[in-house]
Structure 1
């Protein structure tokens, strides 16, 4: 049978605790060995006793099945609950477009279909109880990255680069993109950092030296590890037996295990209001639970710890730094920055305030990753994205004494 992409709505994101920590492996450009890093890192985490799943999120160029020896084009089976049963290889569970299509059949997908397949690969798969779900992203900062950052509460991202300057400069852009959508950067992995001669053990730095450490220091993020070149990586990928399985004593395998150990001790759950949520305004169904109190000096000003409502007209927010805020919901509608309300080129408002009813109310409010909320209003408008920074900057309504 052929799996079809699931329909998407904010409610689809509810109930993902079984996925554990969701970690994205990203790169600014192709050819840096990101999928090799993703695959070997996933196996290194599994070797520590963790239950790990791997999503090959590069829908146009899936390579993970080949690296793991998974047969392409063999339609997956479905569980009695209607979930896709993932492939298993070397103790990890895997989902990839390469499992749905033959090697020579391209995936021709427009943006909305990309989003639907990504949601299906994460939400409609019988993963079981995981400690980590690793997402092997395509290179760049396009639809896939934005979809995942908006739809799922990513624990963090690992950025893979090679030591040469051009790769590092592009990696910097990828890091900045993740920062804008509030995805924590767990660290940088410098791949292909040097070649160790198997005869004399002399290290030759083919692509310069120390670039990963420099960019990590300049951005204030950790360097998780520098993985040396190893000719066996190519053969292992072609044979479907990744390096950490086929050559566990290789220097590169030791680095993968070190990175896995670092992540195991460093990864933390996202602070702030627990996500995902899909809050129905009228009856408070699925209203987000408040986060544990963390207000203290130096706490983040753009991390909400409580979303509530004072009445049908007022959205209430409490921020991690202890600031309380109340926003009139009509002001929230007027502040929408979507393309239907603001001209994308000039930034000029095109929404006529006179067309917004005075008694407008939200119907639903849902989380968008770790950085924003989406709001559906009683006038039918639902395309706005309100970042936490934008919400914090809105004017607080005066509360009348009663």
Structure 2
């Protein structure tokens, strides 16, 4: 699962997504695309998918549309062409969950998530609910776009989504008559920001009028003009991303572990010296404490009551000052954990015997808690 994101709108992110999806399909990969831009869906138009509502499989899952060898689900398939999606945050979250979990994708090699611009509800929902293999950030070369792209990169880093690289779109225009390259939006900014942030630079996609015509008419450029510089750039990016998504270590997510009967407990992963300090290798529970083994070999024991008192949710902490709202004397000494579940690749959710279950414990916050830390491997 690879998220294609951008800090701001108008950088051509959906065009990039559509073309690299088709390029991946052309080399034999089974590819799906979730058009996660609920308010402004455009992927079906770019791939030439007619405005027909999807059908249902016998198991009540949605059958995705298919065109150009790519499976697609989009809000554009569920509403009329000019009908606005007037939805609050919870409904947007519901649709996103449905687009991934309740669609009959079959066996996919790659699922691309075409995100809307920004760092809001949709980005956070996907990062929390699904085990993303990584994210790609699309930007144009001008400084204002790159500055906002940097924020998008930082957001993904904060929720432990690996950054697979930066794509510089609209990178120079080649005159069809004389061959002169004009850098309308400056040049080299994408490479510079990738170098500055220590991530891969995936490539430059030049401006090409055919990109607009092909997108409007549902003919992906990689098929319609395969020898063009832009099509070559798309294929190069697709080849790089097609090899991504290998196991980055740690327990598999998502999981939901019920402590009373052990159901859903994640299978332990290998912990080795030199491994990631921000990835969990195993969880256990004994004698009123949660035991966390991290991929760098560190083992940490955190008492259930200490975890309850450390909750940072709005019920337990004052939002502005961070002052504790819950009275420690009101938390029973024998309080215990009842459930533990994954929140994306960056946090755990926990439920306690007093019924409290709204806290999110980031891996960074858990590592900072003063529990019993045993010897490293």
TM-score, normalization by structure 2: 0.97
Structure 1 runs of 4+ with >6 Å offset: none
Shift of 1:387: 0.4
Whether 1:52 aligns to 2:31 is yes
C-alpha contact (below 8 Å) 2:299/2:373 kept by paired residues:
no
C-alpha contact (below 8 Å) 1:186/1:267 kept by paired residues:
no
Whether 1:378 aligns to 2:328 is no
Shift of 1:318: 0.7
More deviation, 387-396/34-43: 387-396
Change in 2 beyond 3 A, CA 1:55/1:398: closer
| Alpha-carbon distance in structure 1 between the residues aligned to 2:243 and 2:85 | 38
- Partner in structure 1 of residue 273 of structure 2: 296
Which of 103, 121, 126 is residue 81 of structure 2 equivalent to? Answer: 103
SS in 1 for 2:243: helix
Q: How does 1:3-402 map to 2 (within 5 A)?
A: 22-72=1-51, 74-291=52-269, 293-297=270-274, 299-311=275-287, 313-397=288-372
Deviation string for 1:171-210 (max 9, x for gaps)?
0000000000000000000000010111122111000010
SS in 1 for 2:141: coil
User: Size of the alignment, in residue pairs?
Assistant: 374
SS in 2 for 1:192: strand
Let me know the Cα RMSD of the aligned residues. Answer: 1.2
Shift of 1:273: 1.2
Shift of 1:141: 0.1
Shift of 1:398: 8.6
SS in 1 for 2:265: coil
Change in 2 beyond 3 A, CA 1:70/1:329: same
| Alpha-carbon distance in structure 1 between the residues aligned to 2:280 and 2:226 | 44
Gaps of 5+ in 1: 1-21
C-alpha contact (below 8 Å) 1:54/1:94 kept by paired residues:
yes
SS in 2 for 1:300: coil
Change in 2 beyond 3 A, CA 1:209/1:96: same
| Alpha-carbon distance in structure 2 between the residues aligned to 1:227 and 1:242 | 14
